[in-house]
Amino acid sequence: MTTAVATAAASTLVGTFVQLRAGEDWLPVCHLDRLVPGRGVAALLPGGHQVAVFLDRAGRLHAVDNRDPFTGAAVLSRGLLGSHQGRPFVASPLLKQRFDLATGQCLDDETVRLTTYEVRAA
């Protein structure tokens, strides 16, 4: 059933842009169709921050800090997406810690949390 939702969502969004909230403004970062469901891309904010943007299977967008807090490398956009009890997460490609994409909370270490960013398709 989710498949249907995903296709519907994706088709209504054709030609739309992925936009990140930067202060008051929305910064367009790429065409929505650049995102493969289940994978991420990295975007550079004007201030130099790096944001990892993901599209999940249900067609929802997520954005978190690109920096892996366990190693300091800016690689989270290259991690794999998964879902646990219906909540999407990304697993770091370096040492595999998982982070809830909605809250940024690390699922393997309760003391670690990523900054999340507002993201939309418009």
Partner 1 sequence: MPMPTTDSSTVSPSVTVSPTIVLVGHGMVGQRFLEALAERGLTSTHRVVVLCEEPRPAYDRVHLTSYFSGTSADELSMTDMEFIEKHGIELRLGDPAESVDREARTVTARSGLTVSYDTLVLATGSYPFVPPVPGKDADGCFVYRTIEDLLAIEEWAKARATTGAVVGGGLLGLEAAGALKGLGLDAHIVEFAPRLMPVQVDDGGGAALLRTIEEMGLTVHTGAGTQEVLTGEDGAVTGMKLSNGSELAVDMVVFSAGVRPRDQLARDCGLEVGERGGIAVDASCRTVSDDRVFAIGECALAVDGRVYGLVAPGYEMAQTAAATIAREEAEFTGADLSTKLKLLGVDVASFGDAHGTADGCLDVVYSDSRAGLYKKLVVGRDGTLLGGILVGDAEAYGTLRALTGSVPPVSPESLVLPAGAAGGGAQLGPSALPDEAIICSCHNVTKGAIRGAVTDHQCVTVPEVKKCTKAGTGCGSCVKVLGQLVEAELEASGVEVDKGLCGCFGQTREELYEIVLALRVTSYRELLDRHGREEARGGDGCEICKPSVANMLATLAPAIGADAHVLDGEQSSLQDTNDHFLANLQKNGSYSVVPRIPGGEIAPEKLIVIGEIARDFGLYTKITGGQRIDMFGARVEQLPRIWARLVDAGFESGHAYGKSLRTVKSCVGSTWCRYGVQDSVRMAIDLELRYRGLRSPHKLKSAVSGCARECAEAQSKDFGVIATANGWNLYVGGNGGATPRHADLLAQDLSDAELVRLIDRFLMFYIRTADRLERTSVWLDRIPGGLDHVRDVVVHDSLGICDDLERLMAAHVAHYRDEWAAVLEDPEKLERFVSFVNAPETPDPTVAFVPERGQIKPNLPLLQIGIREMEGTATR
Q: Are 50 and 67 in contact (CB under 8 A)?
A: yes
- Per CB under 8 A, the list member of 8, 25, 102, 115 interacting with partner 1 is 115
**Degrees to nearest 5, angle at CA 69 with 96 and 48:** 120
The count of other CB atoms within 10 Å of the CB of residue 19 is 21
Taking CB under 8 A as the criterion, the residue among 8, 34, 118, 122 binding partner 1 is 34
What is the Cβ-side half-sphere exposure of residue 42, based on CA atoms within 13 angstroms? 15
Judged by CB under 8 A, the chain residues 40 through 99 that form the site for partner 1 are 41-44, 48, 50, 53, 56-57, 67-75, 78-86, 88, 91, 93-94, 96, 98
For partner 1, the binding residues (CB under 8 A) are 1-3, 27-30, 34, 36-39, 41-44, 48, 50, 53, 56-57, 67-75, 78-86, 88, 91, 93-94, 96, 98, 109, 111-115
